[in-house]
Chain A
Amino acid sequence: MAADDETLTAPYLLTYDYRRSCGPVIGRFLAGLRAGRIEGVRTAGGRVIVPPVEYDPDNGEPTGDFVAVSSTGTVVSWAWVVEPRPNHPLARPFAWALIKLDGADTAMLHAVDAGRPSRIKTGARVKARFAAERSGHIRDLACFELEDA
């Protein structure tokens, strides 16, 4: 404990190891990542949602069949991280991006290893880089990279 003139303070580390159950939709998507492919799910209205969710965010109806989508896509928004934090996917400066994969109607958030901020822009084409070792987890997608890189 450290003391100042009036109140005492102490360092405190809170740790929880939650075991997340995935269910059939997320579990299937993560199994796809493990196998090196990206899948979305089709709504009754015909839209393809990636990453997939159990219910259509527009109307709460159950979503339907799985649809393979491309591992390439288009940046719809991005933010440049000057100083990555320890729990970020990349240790060097990178871009977060909302990426609409070819064949999908919604954007997914992930990191883009673009090197420097001048190389990324809205509309940039990116492709997925899969991790060498995969376990069925969102970080089986190591990050995205510029398609022309």
Chain B
Amino acid sequence: MSARREVAIVSYAQTSFAPHTKLNDAELVMEAVTAALERAQLPRKQIGFCVSGSSDYLTGMPFSFVGALDAVGAWPPIQESHVEMDGAWALYEAWVRLLHGDIDTALVYAFGRSSLGDLQDVLVAQLDPYYLAPLGVDPNSLAALQARALLDTGRASERDFAEVATRCKRTAGGAPLDAPYVVSPLRAHDCPPVNDGAAAIVLAAGDRARALCKRPAWIRGIDHRIEAHSLGARDLTRSSSTTLAAVEAGVHTAPIEIAELHAPYSHQELIVKEALQLGDGVRINPSGGALAANPLMVAGLARIGEAAQQILDDNARRTLGHATSGPCLQQNLVCVMEASS
């Protein structure tokens, strides 16, 4: 097998992840894409491939990703793709596309406006349409079932959940255990906020990455895995897909300094951390993670972007970005990045 082409993240940008934006999709994407391209000094017309992640259900507008293309400029016709997934999976597609070898740059972006609808209703639509969706089981409830299962194993306590929440949310007053449950055993501090936002990443291969960026974040490994969709067929307290993706991405070949984990619920950080077998010396979610801001379809890409930014800013040499999708950590993606040796 020939040596794999080197691909790096050369810039990252995001909008503010506010509780609500007044912008439309194109206007929102424009902010993130323009900032990411400016940081890389890459003109739009030089982008080799463009791929985005979003979900039409968030805004109730079919094929909304087509409208968002106005922020990229799709004329003359561009090479473009879209995933109805978190933007982290769009990044995976862009990475694969760059491995083909015929283009040197790619733009990845994700956008989501969760504030227009009610996520507790909207996300029911992602469930099994025969056995689960007709029950109206909402994402907070599914996460709570997972949290309870974890508590029952004795591997974590509600206090452990609160410690994750306190560190990520940095709210005054912390995460009190006498706060009422939203869906027990989860309290409001254990659940993600609703946010709108967009994020963009510029990828480049080999010498083009070195030309665009002083200190690229080289993708040393990236892998994603999925588990059975039937919740009752899974061990909800273990993230075996994360563990496998981590091995395939080469997480354990050298120490990780900073890990950005996409864990929308506090207990999920504990499950993902354990699945990644990260040691105690690893800084987890200095950005605050998805508990601090959770723009749907964006939060996973943002984890990879934040982890890359730590390398771009010379704060770390080896970082990890993780993204999740689906109920109770069904799908997981792990991306390992390094500064040049």
Contact = CB atoms under 8 A, between A and B. Distances in A.
Interface in B114-137: 120-121, 124, 129-132, 134-137
Interface stretch (B67-75, B228-236, B276-284, B289-297): B228-236
B183 A79 contact: yes
B152 interface: yes
B289 to A, nearest CB: 22
Nearest to A49: B233
A89 B133 CA distance: 11
Contact of A51 (B131, B181, B183): B131
Q: How large is the interface on A (under 10, 10 to 19, 20 to 34, 35 or more residues)?
A: 35 or more
Contacts of A14: 60
A83 to B, nearest CB: 9
Nearest to A18: B129
Given A7-B22, A81-B183, A82-B184, A96 B230 contact: no
Contacts of B148: 77-79, 122
Given A77-B148, A85-B138, A88-B135, A138 B184 contact: no
Contacts of B137: 88, 96, 109
Contact of A87 (B121, B232, B233, B236): B121
B149 A77 contact: yes
B267 to A, nearest CB: 12
Interface residues of B, number: 38
Contacts of A49: 230, 233
Q: Which of A49, A77, A100 has the most CB of B within 10 A?
A: A77
B228 A57 contact: yes
Interface string A98-110: 1010000011111
Contacts of A58: 228, 233
A79 B231 CA distance: 14
Nearest to A99: B232
21 contacts: A26-B130, A49-B230, A57-B233, A77-B146, A79-B144, A79-B148, A79-B184, A80-B181, A80-B183, A82-B184, A85-B120, A87-B124, A89-B136, A96-B144, A96-B145, A107-B231, A109-B132, A109-B231, A110-B135, A117-B184, A137-B134
Interface of A: 4, 6-7, 12, 14, 18, 20, 22, 26, 30, 49-51, 53, 57-58, 76-82, 85-89, 96-98, 100, 106-111, 117, 122, 137-139
